[in-house]
Amino acid sequence: MIAFLLVVYTAIVIVLVKVGVVRAQPYPIALVVVAGIFIIGGVVAAWTLCAPVSMRVVASHHIVQIVPYVKGQIKKLYARPLQPLHQGDPLLDIDPAPYQFAVNQLEAQLQSSKDNVEQSAAGLEAARANVKKSEAAVGQAVAAVNTAKAGVAGAEAAAKKAGAADELAKIEEQMDLEILKENAVAISRLKVDQATQNRKQADAAYEQAQTDITQAQAASAQAEAALAEAQAAQLQAAAAASQSEAALKVATSGVAVIQAQLDHAQFNLTQCHVTAPADGFVVNWQVQEGTMLVPLPLAPAGTFINTSETGVVAVFPQNYLMNVEPGNDVELVLNSYPGRLFNAKVECIVEATGEGQFAPGGEIPRASTIGSQGLLAVRIILPEDEAKSLNIPLGAGGVVAIYTEHGKSVHIISKVAIRMKKWLLYVLPT
């Protein structure tokens, strides 16, 4: 484009000389040359800073190394190299038999653990019922103890009353006997006999009351023994319930552990069927049916090219990017599509370059090897619908023109240049 500007300026100068506006003398010619340098130089400077163009362009895709999650022999190989695939299409099958065996074994263990949980739950319910039953028995025993104590108190009260009656009967008998001694006529023999009979009955009643006290105390002691036994049974039932509850917790946790193991085994089983991670195709197949695969990144089965997203990177001198911002309009010509012009946007400027990275090591960097070419990369994104419709090869080149918000009057130069490149691709392939 600079040569084109020089040709245009030279033609204008020649016309001016022919018509006599500029004389063909040393000073006018020198003035014209100096003016041309400043004019063309200024135009070129404004052009490169406001609408930079780069021919260092490359199209990239995400690369996925096909590494299986599980190891095993390839049972079936579906994909063929360079064959277009959609996301989820099968790539290969690893022999699932060992992983199916593990799933079957864990399913059986899981069912056994669930049965243990049910048995433990039933045992806990029975233990809790025994606890309630023992609590009721303790309540009955407490009531029996209270009744027996009340019986003892009643027997003691009856004994006191019988004792008092016996003492009174003895006193009456003694009085009658003394009266009879002193004066046999003063009292009848029948009355004395009656007093003696009453005293004997009072003695018998007192003895019976003492016997009732003994029986009541024995009943109270028996009730207290029954209470102690009921309380011991209650403690035993509570301990059995606690043990059953602990057994239920252990059985339940065992179910969770086996369920986790089963989930992992089922996940491993599903990983035996390897599918395409995205739209794209496989290159560099290194396997065939019967090949043993291992989950090691150093030994991939092949390489998958993800064509669902295409990235375009263009390289510019750093000073060319002083006005470039994310979102600026971009026109793009790809060598794979002569005669076509694509509109895109600036996604970002990659403000980093490997030339500024120093690897840690024991050797001091040599000053003679340190330097930079002064270039930065710009990532460009195509419209989503257009990117999906195109089949841009990995590593395709082209030309990029970025139109900043500054110096829009010089954008025409880049527009003309990139359109010329678009048509020149038919006869001058890059």
CA distance 277 to 36: 58
CA distance 397 to 418: 14
Concatenated DSSP letters for 382-396? --HHHHHH--PPTT-
Q: How much is the pLDDT for 366?
A: 78
Over its length of 430 residues, how does the chain's per-residue pLDDT go in tens digits?
A: 566 666 666 777 677 667 766 666 677 677 767 777 777 667 777 888 899 999 999 988 889 999 999 999 999 999 999 898 999 999 999 999 999 999 999 999 999 988 988 888 888 888 888 888 888 888 887 888 788 778 778 777 877 887 777 677 777 767 766 766 666 555 556 666 676 777 777 777 777 777 877 877 787 788 788 878 888 888 888 888 888 888 888 888 888 999 999 999 999 999 999 999 998 899 988 888 999 999 888 888 999 998 888 889 999 999 899 999 999 999 999 888 888 899 999 999 998 888 887 777 777 877 877 888 889 999 998 887 776 677 788 888 999 999 999 988 889 888 988 998 888 888 876 6
Concatenated DSSP letters for 307-365? EEEEEEEEEEEGGGGTT--TT-EEEEEETTSTT--EEEEEEEEE---GGG-----SSPP
CA distance 175 to 148: 40
Q: How much is the pLDDT for 187?
A: 57
Q: How much is the pLDDT for 22?
A: 64
Contact by Cβ (8 Å): 173, 200: no
What count of other Cβ atoms lies within 10 Å of the Cβ of residue 281? Answer: 17
Distances (CA, A) of 146 to 138, 151, 153: 12, 9, 11
If you compute the radius of gyration of the chain from its CA atoms, what whole number of angstroms results? 56
Count Cβ neighbours within 10 Å for each residue of 316-340 and write b for 16 or more, e otherwise.
beeebbeebeeebebbbbbbebbee
CA distance 12 to 372: 41
CA distance 425 to 396: 13
CA distance 252 to 255: 5
pTM score, whole prediction: 0.63
Helix axis angle, 97-182 to 189-270, nearest 10°: 170
CA distance 415 to 402: 10
Q: Please measure the distance between the N-terminal and C-terminal CA atoms of the chain and give it in whole angstroms.
A: 17
CA distance 87 to 104: 30
Question: Which residues lie below 8 Å from residue 17, measured CB to CB, with a gap of 6+?
Answer: 23, 24
